[in-house]
Amino acid sequence: MKKNNREKAMCQLQNELNFIFKDITLLNGALTHSSYANEHRKTNMIHNERLEFLGDSVLNLAVSDYIYKKYPYYPEGNLTKIRATVVCESALALIAKKIKLGDYLLLGKGEEATGGRNRDSILADALEALIGAMYLDKGFRDVQRFVIRLLEKEIIEASKKGELFIDYKTKLQETLQRNRKASIEYKIVKEEGPDHDKKFHILALIDKEEFGRGYGRSKKEAEQRAAKEVLIRMGVKDE
């Protein structure tokens, strides 16, 4: 994308998000997928994986702080379930689609051709990277206001219904603690594909014994699928 067009796009996104960056390079980095950076190695372009790592922690803290204060009588287990519901990959991807974040991503040709702009794992990661960039640019309080503005409706719904998106890992952990007191472990058994398009194969082990397998474009996605398979084998209803 030409520089002038990219700058216009970044201005448009900032206006839509109602968040103006002091350092626009942070925003651009948050929206640069590793596949695009790999295709432009000579420019030493920075992609969004480090920002995603930071944003994941900032997001969890922002939501935790908010629900801790909003629901002072909820026990730890309820708070954990609410947080897990609104920060899971499916929920974040839906929010990213609502704000049309995919329209602003810089993707490599392979990801572009295979629908990466609408892929949940890429969108969720980009949203976390955006939150990380916002934190570096303006600090925690400003980014928390942004996060809650995006997620407040989902948080309230989750507090009423318990789950908007099924977090199979949390559900499995609760089931094991309630019924078996067993330990659960997730183990990567295989990674395939280039760095910008990795696929993960995960084993779900209960007391070191294999109970389920999962496959996905992120470790989170693969672990969720492995946990779901275990729950199905245990006869736990998907509800």
Binding region for Mg(2+): 52, 125, 128
Q: Please state, in angstroms and rounded to a whole number, the distance separating the CA atoms of residues 119 and 8.
A: 24
128 belongs to the catalytic site: yes
Place of tokens 């996060």: 147
Q: Which residues are annotated as a binding site?
A: 52, 125, 128
- Give bridge partners of residue 185 from the DSSP assignment: 205
Rounded alpha-carbon distances, angstroms, from residue 175 to 187, 232, 234: 20, 12, 9
- Would you tell me the crossing angle of helices 168-179 and 76-87 to the nearest 10 degrees? 150
Task: Name the token pair of 127.
Answer: 């949203």
CA angle (29 as vertex; 27, 34 as ends), nearest 5? 145
End-to-end CA distance of the chain: 44
Pick the catalytic residue: 89, 128, 167, 221?
128
Task: Sort 15 into a burial class: Cβ within 10 Å, 0-12 / 13-18 / 19+.
Answer: exposed
The sign of the dihedral angle between the CA atoms of 208, 211, 213, 219 is negative
Catalytic residue among 56, 89, 167, 221: 56
Point out the residues that are catalytic: 56, 128
